[in-house]
Amino acid sequence: MRPIGVFDSGVGGLTVVKELFRHLPGEDIIYFGDTARVPYGIKSRETVIRFSIENILFLLKHDVKLICVACNTVSSVALPSIKGHFRVPIVGVIAPGVREAVYATRNKRIGVIGTRGTIDSRAYDKEIKQLDPAIKVTAAACPLFVPFAEEGWLEGSEISSVAAKYLKPVKDAKVDTVILGCTHYPLLKPVIKKSLGDDVALIDSAKQVAIEVKKILAQEGALNNKSREGRHKFYVSDNTSWFGSVAGRFLGSPLLDVEKVNNV
């Protein structure tokens, strides 16, 4: 059975993997985290495109039937340029979340939070405006959310204070829907919700990506409908022990079998 391929610049893409586990429990999954070259957000467009192509070629060696780009930087910077060059379906994290947000908003005011690279690319803004030009978008970069998530600081006065400061412009804009534009951010849902209020809907791109993947595989007749538990393999380009331990915060339990790949 051909697996689903997933790649990210590091560990954040595991939030997408967790949703794939939930929505497609019978599917085999190959995950690659490019931990030797993280972060992608500070790299040039040309470099991000090159890294992305190399990551895709690695996954194709495993005969994957679909590739999920679980990285907002790649989805915003590289995906538009490389998507048409491969036969295998490639799903990014931006479009699925945007579609759900446009559907969910009642007052046509959407907030987008993400890393500086993602926010500066304005990829979410452009995608939202294509679907509905009348929607007002308020974006905010939240760079410290990533290290907080990776260190497991998911609650407490420190993260609450940072969240309140980062999210103030989004809250002041009176948005009713916010896209979590980074795959680390679902871990911080409670503190984000507390800062924005219960009336604001949080759109988890990871969940929407899993739903999109299932839809595409169903359309292509490539879903595994057998009642078996999927097998999962995790590869990184560096630091297997760190990745395995941090993975526990994203998946609920540490990964003991992580393989290092040289010369991706």
Q: Which residues are catalytic?
A: 71, 182
Cα 14 → chain centroid: 8
CA angle 24, 30, 36 (to 5 degrees): 135
Q: Name the one residue in this structure whose structure tokens are 């407490």.
A: 156
Nearest-angstrom CA–CA distance, 113 and 97: 12
159: phi then psi, degrees, rounded to nearest 5: -70, -30
Nearest-angstrom CA–CA distance, 208 and 264: 28
CA count, 13 A, side-chain hemisphere, 142: 33
**What element of type H or E holds 262?**
none
SS3 letters across 41-83: CCCCHHHHHHHHHHHHHHHHCCCCCEEEECCHHHHHHCHHHHH
Residue 56, by phi and psi: left (phi above 0), alpha (psi -120 to 50) or beta? Answer: alpha
9: phi then psi, degrees, rounded to nearest 5: -70, -15
